[in-house]
Amino acid sequence: MTEQPWVAGASASERPAEERERIAARMRQGAGGSHVLLSTCHRVELYGFGELPRLAGDLLLKSGEAAVVHLLRVAAGLESALVGEDEVLHQVRNAFQEAAAGGQLDRRLHRLFELAVATGRRARAGRSALGAGLADRAVDWLQGRSPLRGRPVLVAGAGRMGSALAHAARRRGALVTIASRDPERARRLASVYGGIGVSLAEGADLVPGSAGVAVALSGPWQELASLADPLPPIADISAPSAVPGALRARLNGGFLGVDDLFTGGTPPPAYVDAAERIVSGKAAEYLGWLEARS
């Protein structure tokens, strides 16, 4: 094979969230339609074939077979802090679909991501519950600082992760309010949990009276900057953080960021063993297909 697949990027263990977001922005601007950009709360990675673009040269992670195995492990949840979690598979699939929609994606990369999605699905098939996800861990952290049952909890964000936060808070008996840049979307989601939906500006006004605040936003929550102390604990699983830096500093131990959630833990051995066998088999399948094309 004259050309090899490669992956360039950084993870939470190497670069803080703010730097990963800068890397992702750089990759979005400079990457061509023949690449796939995977940007999650834990990692930002650019996948391609052949020549490495200049924007990724100082971020090369793996190439050749190692790059193939890495993507399959990511899709299977083996590289996640919460081993086997579902969100990363959705993110791999969405990154693939977005790249493929442009119609310029290298056929070899197209096949690799098809196989990665299939690997992630097969690895998770028939599994038992693997423990709490990011949202559950964030809400558990809030619960550890202030009882939530029967008390108001504000969730900022009405997307997939905002919904997960709201679900986790409601399961712990909290009275859920959802704030979003789109108040109508917030109201629709809040109705599922018997709560109310408001705008982000209205949500900021509710922060001081909340038992806890859980945040999953795609951009900064500027309305928080003007709030005065005292403030409740805030768990922010946005990447980068949506909570202004000056407010985070004031909270001291009352703030949890997404990078704080990526702290080890014992992975489930049965899932790991089965998933690693699937990854090994699918990697061999792909490398055999690639060799046959050369």
Q: How many residues does the chain have?
A: 294
Q: What is the mean pLDDT of residues 197-202?
A: 97
| pLDDT score of 125 | 79
> 88-112: per-residue pLDDT in tens?
898 999 999 999 998 889 999 999 9
Residue pair 135/63 in contact by the 8 Å Cβ criterion: no
Question: In angstroms, rounded to a whole number, what is the distance separating the alpha carbons of residues 115 and 110?
Answer: 9
> 156-184: per-residue pLDDT in tens?
999 988 999 999 999 999 999 999 999 99
Global pTM value:
0.65
Active site residue 40: no
Query: Roughly what angle, to the nearest 10 degrees, separates helices 87-101 and 160-171?
Result: 160
Phi first, then psi, for residue 282 (nearest 5°) are -70, -35
Find the catalytic residue in 7, 31, 38, 41.
41
